[in-house]
A and B are shown apart, each in its own frame.
Chain A
Amino acid sequence: MNEEDLKTMIEGILTDMTSGKGSSEKKAISNTQGSNIASGTTAGSVASGEVLDDITKIDLRKQFLVPHPHDREGYLKIKSFTPARLGMWRAGCRYKTASVLRFRADHAAAQDAVFSDVDPNLPKEMGFLETQTTCTSKDEYLTRPDYGRKFSDEMVAKIKNGVTPNPKIQMIVGDGLSSAAIEANVKDIIPAIQQGLKVYNLGFETKDVIFVKYARVGAEDQIGEITNADVVCMLVGERPGLVTAKSMSAYIAYKPKIGMPEANRTVVSNIHDGGLPAVEAGAYIAEMLDKMLRLKKSGIDLKAAENAGN
């Protein structure tokens, strides 16, 4: 640094020091905003058009808040194996603000996934047959699981008239406990299953897919009885957690009947962008459907038959 630069710098510092309180206050506010943990109440006096960064975009596996770690790389390595919130520096009732806000944001996303409905345009765009269980509201759906497994007589007639009877494969899409999961995965998984089934000379028409609002897994049993399908496959949104709100499962059963044992269902779970990708899950489900039709079994019975075959 030469003398001239030094002079300019000192001048700058002196100007800052003497220019009064106003500007330094302003600086403090913009600093808080920059660090993601601004609280709306204290800085409320200044309305800026800026939008805070989305804290849910931070990759938790890489966020490491321990200030002076003995072995940073080692800790990050451990974190890379788990979505658990490790290395948040403070625990118990003394989490850091960033951790608390993130936790609340993830929790809110999970709640939203449960309490919001699947976009009503989705089943229309896809051309699914739209149905609803005997639940009349989200509250009733959450408090009365038994209502989520039943259809009214009127709805039974709608299903009967709406889809091809006695199919080999009956597909169902149910909102379940996460509408976000359905919105995220259905558009990719349905064509992937259809394409996979072609390998086995099987298939189903998209218009024969039944969309069920307020659906519990057991709803597939009654649909099995109504349609007299050989295999029923239900895609349903899973109860969201703090890791993802978009996880979907497929519950597949050979000739399901009301009251059949739960052990007769085959499950493909963890279908989301951080787990099993929807298209790959679709391909896998197609193979499972073929296997069940050939062996005429599902769930534990299918496993037993497969193991005996080995």
Chain B
Amino acid sequence: MKDDQILSVGIDLGTSTTQLVLSRLTIKNFASAFSVPRINISKKEVIYKSDIIFTPLSTQTEIDANAIKRFVANQYQKAGIDKQDIQMGAVIITGETARKQNSSAVTQALSGYAGDFVVATAGPDLESIIAGKGAGTNLLAKEHRKNIVNMDIGGGTSNLGLFSDEDIIDTACFDVGGRLIKVTPKEHRITYISPKVKELISSLELNIQEEMIVTADELKPIINCLVQVLENSIGLGTKSPYFDTFITNHPLHPENRIDGVTFSGGVADCLNETMPADEFRYGDIGLLLGSGVRNSLIFKEKTVYPSIETIRATVVGAGSHTTDVTGSTIAYTDGILPLRNLPILKIAQSDELLESEDLSEKISEKISWYQVENELNNVAIALVGKHSPSFDDVQRYAAGIVKGAQVLIAKHEPLIIMIHEDMAKALGHSMFARLPAHYPFVCIDSVKVENGDYIDIGEPIAGGEVLPVIVKTLVFG
């Protein structure tokens, strides 16, 4: 096999900025020429970084879909790339923008436009993971063998991703960002205050509201409070009474040790010890917040490591670090790929040990959970499998799966099986023997997924030996 390449696009629609990167992923067979292939992504290169624009809004709450479309088209042209060339990718709608009503419509418009296999995803957990990977925190955690948390402080939210030895172990998200308050650059007249900051202002009994002209000093109590929330978020300082208010979905689990910190997001470029002369240069509180963080307990009590990407961390993560490849011995039938947005149905590991009859019951029971108002959409059935299984083990799995998935087979939905241990090809063959003739199926291994994840499976690469996959921890919409 010769080295293969995938062109991948990442588009990040953030609360404040929108950007795009194009990455080239090189797929390489690491095994010697006469061994069973061992195919992995060997290189991830960002080949094009777009301009960073403010996310175009048609009103304070609505994204301007057409402007985004024009931006993407324009950047493809600048990069000299045809949209047909793009094989994988992710559109990530992040921060506050993700919660605005119309953003799913924007995503859809973009998804149809931006290449054939571009997926619209979002959600604070996924954003935390990809921002951390884009910032290179996972590599630092591996190199130093420390638990390092990346704090991606953007316009509307701060996404925390805690890595231990390259693996993500926890995520969190807070409604703390540089554009929670927007001001006009010259006059410093407030044009926007986020709802949660409004709450904070009223409980602090401050006299700050939209349309007022403010100074940095007047905003100081608010900044201090936001910084304290960020300190609290990694277990530092005394707990702010407003900590819970600013949690987007959930905080980090306190039992995990945190040795070091990296920063990304727009505010990571504003971590100045002394305030620049024009503190409202960007028309927001980013510089104030950055300086607050720079002088906070985080810098005093934790090791702060430099990150690879700051403001581009999320988009680089989306473009380069969302795609993975399956194991190199797999089985699938032709003509059913790509498959998108399949929810993962994970079988409990204790159930996997059951005899095929009981296993099939557990599987069909779980499949029925996905039946909504008698509508059944396809699912990807995920199992852990067995290390070095016997032939009988494989038969038991295959019989249990095929019987348990009868309801899907009756609807002629392609059967999608993901197994963690290296046994997908044998399992696929065993399923083939039990399925109706020419029944479409995909059986892949070496991809880790959990309940609640969604997966996209791309068209075969590397001469058909492996499939590219994107595991999405949360799908927006």
Are A310 and B391 in contact, CB atoms less than 8 angstroms apart? Answer: no
Cβ contact within 8 Å between B35 and A283: no
Q: Which of B86-94, B207-215, B429-437 sits within the interface?
A: B429-437
Within 8 A of B (CB), among A266-284: 266-270, 273-274, 276-284
B residues 415-463 near A (Cβ < 8 Å) are: 422-426, 428-430, 432-433, 463
Chain A residue, CB-CB nearest to B328: A284
- Is B426 a contact of A283 with CB atoms below 8 Å? yes
The listed residue (A189, A280, A310) touching B463 by CB distance below 8 A is: A310
| Cross-chain contact of B432 among A73, A198, A274, A306 (Cβ < 8 A) | A198
- The answer, yes or no, to whether A199 is at the interface (CB within 8 Å) is yes
Cβ 8 A contact of B329, one of A199, A270, A280, A306:
A280
CB-based contact A196/B429 at 8 Å: yes
Contact between A306 and B391 (Cβ–Cβ < 8 Å)? no
A268 touches B36 (CB 8 A): yes
**Smallest distance from the beta carbon of A206 to chain B beta carbons, Å?**
13
Render A255-274 as a binary contact track against B, CB cut-off 8 A, 1 for contact: 00000000000111110011
A303 touches B (CB below 8 Å): yes
Q: Contacts A74-B145, A286-B429 given; indicate if A277 touches B35 (C-beta within 8 A).
A: no
The residue in chain A whose Cβ has the minimal distance to the Cβ of B165 is A77
- Residue numbers in A under 8 Å from B33 (CB-CB): 303
Whether B329 and A195, one on each chain, are in contact in the complex, defined by CB atoms closer than 8 angstroms, is no
How far, in Å, is A270 (CB) from chain B's closest CB? 7
Cβ contacts A268-310/B at 8 Å (1 or 0 each): 1110011011111111101100000000000000010011001
Check A279–B423 contact: CB distance below 8 A. Answer: yes
Are A277 and B428 within 8 A (Cβ)?
Answer: no
Specify which of A74, A191, A287 is in contact with B391 (CB 8 Å cutoff).
Answer: A191
Q: A270 to B35, Cβ gap below 8 A? A: yes
Contact string, B381-402, partner A, CB cutoff 8 A, digits 1/0? 0000001111101100000000
Chain A CB within 8 A of B339 CB? no
In the assembly, what is the distance between CA of A269 and CA of B33, in Å?
12
Q: How far is the CA of A126 from the CA of B370 in the complex (A)?
A: 44
CA distance A187 to B393 in the complex (A): 13
Nearest-neighbour CB distance to chain A for B164, whole angstroms, equals 11
Cβ contact of A283, chosen from B331, B388, B463, cutoff 8 A? B331
CA distance A117 to B43 in the complex (A): 48
B329, A273: Cβ atoms closer than 8 Å: no
**Given A273-B388, A310-B463: A196 and B426 within 8 A (CB)?**
yes
Please give me the residue from chain B that is nearest to A309 by CB atom.
B463
Contacts A188-B390, A283-B329, A283-B331 known; A306 to B463 CB distance under 8 Å?
Answer: yes
Q: Which residues of A lie under 8 Å from residue B390 when comparing CB positions?
A: 187-188, 279
Contact residues in B for A60 (Cβ distance below 8 Å): none
- Indicate if the CB atoms of A310 and B2 lie closer than 8 Å: yes
Determine the chain B residues whose CB is within 8 A of the CB of A284 once the complex forms. Answer: 36, 329, 425
Asked if A277 meets B425 with Cβ closer than 8 Å, knowing A199-B432, A268-B36, the reply is no
CB distance from A284 to the nearest CB of B (A): 5
Identify B429's interface contact among A192, A267, A310, CB under 8 A. A192
Residue B53 at the chain A interface, CB threshold 8 Å: no
Chain A residues near B34: list those with CB within 8 A.
266-267, 303
B1 within 8 A of partner (CB):
yes
B145–A77 contact, CB under 8 A? yes
Given known contacts A266-B34, A286-B429, A277 and B2 CB-to-CB distance under 8 angstroms: no
Q: Known contacts being A268-B36, A277-B422, is A195 close to B430, with CB within 8 Å?
A: yes
B363 to chain A, nearest CB (A): 21
Please name the residue on chain B nearest to A281 by beta carbon: B36
Bound Cα distance from A308 to B1, whole angstroms: 10
A187 to B35 alpha-carbon distance, docked (Å): 22
The distance from the CB of A112 to the nearest CB of chain B, in whole angstroms, is 21
B429–A283 contact, CB under 8 A?
yes
Q: Mark B14-37, 1 if CB is under 8 A from A, else 0.
A: 000000000000000000011110
Q: Is the pair B391, A192 in contact by a Cβ cutoff of 8 Å?
A: yes
Shortest CB distance B304–A (Å): 22
Contact B426 A279 (CB under 8 A): yes
Residue among A73, A283, A303, A307 making CB contact with B428, cutoff 8 Å: A283
A269 to B31, CA, bound (A): 12
Indicate with 1 or 0, residue by residue over A203-239, a CB within 8 angstroms of chain B CB atoms. Answer: 0000000000000000000000000000000000000
Interface residues of B (CB under 8 A from A): 1-2, 33-36, 145, 165, 329, 331, 387-391, 393-394, 422-426, 428-430, 432-433, 463
Q: Which 10 A-B pairs have the closest CB atoms?
A: A283-B425, A273-B388, A279-B426, A283-B426, A277-B388, A188-B391, A196-B429, A191-B391, A195-B429, A280-B426
Can you name 19 A-B residue pairings with CB atoms under 8 Å? A73-B145, A74-B145, A198-B429, A198-B433, A266-B34, A268-B35, A276-B36, A277-B387, A277-B426, A279-B393, A279-B423, A280-B329, A281-B36, A282-B391, A283-B429, A286-B429, A303-B33, A306-B1, A310-B2
